[in-house]
Amino acid sequence: MTAGQFLTALMLGTGALALWSYVRWPGAAPATFKGAILRILIALALMQIGIAALHAGIEAAPSLGVLVVIGAVVPVLTYAFLASIWFMKVCADQMR
């Protein structure tokens, strides 16, 4: 598996997890625009923390790179996609 294929699978997988979470727990979505923006800002902050955790984990144990990616990147990307879905939902609700 090439790096591009792995990244594509990672993005599709985390996107599917986010979509499943949205469908599974519809009450978790924010009801207001301000709440959606707050979730987006939290996702952006978590992505910065996730990048730092990824770099620290790879430097500490290069042989465990895949585990570090799964442990640090998958949850962060899933939440980022979920926050994006919530934001689009709030925007769509505002247009009605």
| pLDDT tens readout for residues 85-96 | 999 999 999 998
> pLDDT per residue over 2-47, tens digit each?
989 989 999 999 999 999 999 999 999 999 999 999 999 999 999 9
DSSP-derived secondary structure for 13-78: HHHHHHHHHHHH-GGGS-SSHHHHHHHHHHHHHHHHHHHHHHHHHHHH-GGGHHHHHHHHHHHHHH
Its pTM stands at 0.90
